[in-house]
Amino acid sequence: MSVSAKGEFMLGNRRYCYPLTITDFASRYLLTCEALGTTQEKFAFTVFERTFKEFGLPALIRTDNGEPFGSAQRNGQRKTGAGARA
């Protein structure tokens, strides 16, 4: 599974949109494309939860290390439910 936050752009109502895409790494099949109003991880994690319920939990998630994926917690470690692999 590959995840990418596509940056930001301003909408006609002058609010920013932060697209988040989740694809199958092997086939490049688009699993999810969600227009978020923020890069806060709690909103991204909601998208992950919905995607996992529909398509199952992946063995590995690749990210572009941008927000919200590359930002660290106060102690410099990521908060995950199942652990992480390098």
31-76 per-position pLDDT tens digit? 999 999 998 888 988 999 999 999 999 998 888 766 666 655 544 4
Q: Average pLDDT of 5-24?
A: 92
Residue 17 pLDDT = 95
pTM: 0.72
- Continuous segment of H or E residues that includes residue 23: strand 16-23
Q: Please name which of 67, 62, 71, 65 lies closest in space to residue 19, comparing C-alpha atoms.
A: 67
Q: What is the DSSP letter of 17?
A: E
Using only C-alpha atoms, the chain has a radius of gyration, in whole angstroms, of: 13
